[in-house]
Structure 1
Amino acid sequence: MMLEGHFMTLSLQTVFRNPENPIYDFWKFSRGITAPLFLSISGLIFTYLLLKNKIQGWKNLRVQKGIKRTGVLILLGYLLQFNLYTYFFGGRPLFTSLTQIFHVLQCIGTSLFILISIYLLNHYILKISLGVLLAGLGLMVIIISPTIAELNYNNIPRFIENILIVSKDHSLNTSVFPLFPWCGYVFLGGALGNLIFRLKDKANHFVFPFGLIALGFFIKYLTYPILSGIQYLPGFNRLKPFQYEYEPIRFSQVLIFIGIIILVQKIILKLKASKQLQMPPLVFQVLLAVSFALGCYSFTFPLKNTSQNIIAYTLFFVPIVITLWKLTGWNYKTFLNIGQNTLSVYVLHVILLYQGFFGFRFGSYIKDQLNPFFAIAGAITFVFFFLAYTQYEPILIYQLNRMKLRYKIFKRKKQYKTSTI
């Protein structure tokens, strides 16, 4: 979702960005849920692994790894905002307003550090339910975010302001993922991770995804009355209005999305086990060929309405995606590899699309240049490039380590020869 969304957002021509077009509107919705989903899943997985460890407290291996990980995330986040090409060849300063903004890696890193601190505080002092604590903290972030945004930051360094909020001074670059309100998703995801850990084997039952979907709809439709009621409580009535905040709605959509994905996965696995999805390979290949041929034929006529566009693009691109899927050996293990290499995928895609660190200008050549057909084709190619990358990354790392080892051996031999002379 991230790779496809960023490629399409960068490359699609402005004339096709019509909110009244239902296809574009649906795509924009899916694009909008990507960041909340990414942040929530980060909190969910980290908290689950944190609690799953047999040793709790400071000696928990996940605490040590988590602290190192937060440092790496924050450092990489700021490094990606440098542009060496424009510094050496464009006469642009190395440190600009862009290098001071707070982006998604910094947000996740800082949020996870806060989550670790809360975990340790709770383990040694508070000793209450971590899930309740994180859910309460996530809700509090949502409640106070409007008030934090309205504070006076005139006497505060821009660097600090960018960490906290989206600055109202748009003469310089502003943050995309400041802590308020985005860290709330990490804490709410952490609360969900705690719930999954507490449920243990019950989380594998069919009831669990339905429960997530029901909870999502509950939050979606009851957020406004609940927050409106809190707004009138003593202490809260002095805060800026927060009942209209959109973050709870986004989190409800995240819950519904996760629930649907888990449910679909369970249904597919059940159908596979009962052998009801099996199809002769030749029949399957013929169906793909027919679909692709019909897709090609449909583009020979003007596509006058939304239905015709959906049918034509589906018939044409679905066989291509499935064929690439088969050729690259895309399976459940591939998804696990992507999940384990999310950071390297994110860093590489920022370098390619957004001129991160090195200043490669690939993204500038396609910016607002492609029509929907070529934008979709490019997005599919971009996604499968990274699927291939995640499969071959271990080999690349192995070869890199071998090169390092050979260099060390060569260096030692050279030092030995020099010392003997």
Structure 2
Amino acid sequence: MRTIRTRLGTVWDILRRGTKARQLVVDGGRLEFVDAIRAFAILMMLQGHVIELTLADGWRDPGNALYFAWRHMRGVTAPVFFFASGLIVAYLLFRAPHSIDIARLKKNLWRGGRLIILGYLLQLSWDMLDCLYHGDDCIWNWALRTHVLHTIGVGIFVITALAYFTRHFRWLFPIAALLLMQAAFMFGPMVTVQESLPGVLQIFSTYVLNVHAAFPVLTWLGFPLAGALLGFLVIELRLHERIWVFLLLPVIGYLLSSHSWSILHGVYSAWWSDYTDWLNYGVFTYYRLGEVLMIAGIIGLLTKVITVPKALRATARETLGIYFLHSIVVYSAGMKTFLWHNLDFSLSILLALLLMVVFIVYAMYAPAIREQLPFMKYLK
């Protein structure tokens, strides 16, 4: 009887405080595989935006294997970015022994709000001001359109709220994150594919409808939640030290991608008759999640045999600054005006590589830049 009570007490203590393994976790050191994923995501996003903007129409041949592969991989960079953001947010929140890092929690609320504000600032343009002056509909459709920063900002809010409400029973966090992730991917498309929302709910349309949002939050929130789930398990069980985890992730990813249609079709068909649009969107997001897990596993394996270069670690630390500044350079500094679909294959790639090098150098010198230009701290 005493043994049973002891074991139950151990389980209770784990639920409240976490495992012994997490109490041995590093003292604030960064995880190489997380840095590698974040650096990969931001650099691939950068080159994707540049090539998509500048590549001439004559080179956009879907029958070309290289172009097809590039275009497919371009579509997975945003999910990887969201996944990595959720992973690092959860990892940093749960590093504190026995509870969550309250200081980090408050910092997350500020950071999430800042990302959303910066996202709207990126929408400012002469065209938008002209729309505002004339009262055109494009104000609603473009100026308030949500994209990467808004989705990450909302993701940070949700993950932080989950961490706070489960702080006394920390193992409820991964359960809640998993359930919300599944709800986002499975039921989010029911709202996402709608053309409009009824009545006063229309004010949320730029966040939840595919026609107004680049990444509708109700569905794409699943990616940061998936990252947060892995981040929690990393800090609790030190999964980053076990190579089998990185071997398992691609397998899970492949199974998820290959079976997403049958799973969703079975769920939808059991309850609804008209679900084609939901199914198409839901299968797409599950398929991308599978690819994200495969990429995370491959990058994790590489970090076991290759040390992440200092330049890439710096790049991972400056993802916000790189995203914000590259958006200005690519879309607001003349590149869109003079180079829109105007370069051949080699020049487009060369320009993308050049900008990647420029922003890697920026990342390495960003701390020194912030000392000279204090306002740049808002991009950290």
Separation in 2, partners of 1:223, 1:38: 21
Structure-2 change in CA distance of 1:224 and 1:77 (3 Å): same
Q: Is the 8 A contact 2:181 2:226 kept in 1?
A: yes
Q: Which residue identity lines up with residue 67 of structure 2 in the other structure?
A: Y
Matched, 1:369 2:342: yes
Q: 1:183 Cα shift?
A: 0.9
Structure-2 change in CA distance of 1:332 and 1:176 (3 Å): same
Q: What are the superposed Cα offsets for residues 11-37 of structure 1, whole Å, 9 maximum, x if unpaired?
A: 001111111110001101110110000
For 1:212, which of 242, 246, 249 is the aligned residue? 249
Q: 1:207 Cα shift?
A: 1.3
Gaps of 5+ in 1: 168-173, 270-330, 403-421
Q: 1:136 Cα shift?
A: 1.5
Q: 1:92 Cα shift?
A: 7.1
Q: Is the 8 A contact 1:53 1:62 kept in 2?
A: no
Q: 1:396 Cα shift?
A: 1.7
Q: What are the superposed Cα offsets for residues 366-408 of structure 1, whole Å, 9 maximum, x if unpaired?
A: 1101000100111111100111111222222222359xxxxxx
Partner of 1:118: 162
Matched, 1:104 2:148: yes
TM-score normalized by the length of structure 2: 0.78
> Superposition pairs for residues 17-416 of structure 1, below 5 Å?
17-54=60-97, 56-57=99-100, 60-83=102-125, 87=129, 96-97=139-140, 98-124=142-168, 128-149=171-192, 153-156=197-200, 158-167=202-211, 174-200=212-238, 202-231=239-268, 236-237=271-272, 240=275, 242-244=278-280, 245=282, 246-268=284-306, 332-355=309-332, 360-401=333-374
Q: 1:91 Cα shift?
A: 7.2
Q: What are the superposed Cα offsets for residues 157-185 of structure 1, whole Å, 9 maximum, x if unpaired?
A: 65421111113xxxxxx321120311111
Structure-2 change in CA distance of 1:243 and 1:154 (3 Å): closer
TM-score normalized by the length of structure 1: 0.71
Structure-2 change in CA distance of 1:333 and 1:127 (3 Å): closer
SS in 2 for 1:36: helix
Q: 1:265 Cα shift?
A: 2.7
SS in 1 for 2:146: coil
Structure-2 change in CA distance of 1:253 and 1:111 (3 Å): same
> Larger relative CO (CA 8 A, sep 6+): 1 or 2?
2
Q: Which residue identity lines up with residue 385 of structure 1 in the other structure?
A: V
Q: Which residue identity lines up with residue 129 of structure 1 in the other structure?
A: L
Structure-2 change in CA distance of 1:217 and 1:371 (3 Å): same
Structure-2 change in CA distance of 1:128 and 1:229 (3 Å): farther
User: What is the percentage of aligned positions where both structures have the same residue?
Assistant: 26
Q: 1:112 Cα shift?
A: 1.1
Q: Which residue identity lines up with residue 264 of structure 1 in the other structure?
A: L
Instruction: After superposing the two structures, state which structure 1 stretch, 365-374 or 218-227, moved more.
Output: 218-227
Runs of 4+ in 1 over 6 A off after TM superposition: 90-95
Separation in 2, partners of 1:127, 1:55: 8
Partner of 1:287: none
Separation in 1, partners of 2:325, 2:174: 34
Separation in 1, partners of 2:183, 2:374: 46
- What is the Cα-based RMSD across aligned positions, in Å? 2.6
Q: Is the 8 A contact 1:212 1:258 kept in 2?
A: yes
How many residue pairs were aligned? 325
Separation in 1, partners of 2:374, 2:263: 55
Q: Which residue identity lines up with residue 267 of structure 2 in the other structure?
A: I
Q: 1:266 Cα shift?
A: 2.0
For 1:15, which of 58, 67, 79 is the aligned residue? 58
Separation in 2, partners of 1:393, 1:48: 24
Q: Is the 8 A contact 1:48 1:197 kept in 2?
A: yes
Q: Is the 8 A contact 1:146 1:240 kept in 2?
A: no
Separation in 1, partners of 2:339, 2:83: 31
Q: What are the superposed Cα offsets for residues 49-100 of structure 1, whole Å, 9 maximum, x if unpaired?
A: 111123625x622201100101110100011101158749x97779923211
Q: Is the 8 A contact 1:353 1:362 kept in 2?
A: yes
SS in 2 for 1:53: coil
Which is richer in helix? 2
Separation in 1, partners of 2:251, 2:128: 50
Structure-2 change in CA distance of 1:347 and 1:162 (3 Å): same
Q: Is the 8 A contact 1:53 1:61 kept in 2?
A: no
Separation in 1, partners of 2:134, 2:70: 36
Q: Is the 8 A contact 1:210 1:259 kept in 2?
A: yes
Higher gyration radius (CA): 1
Q: 1:127 Cα shift?
A: 5.8
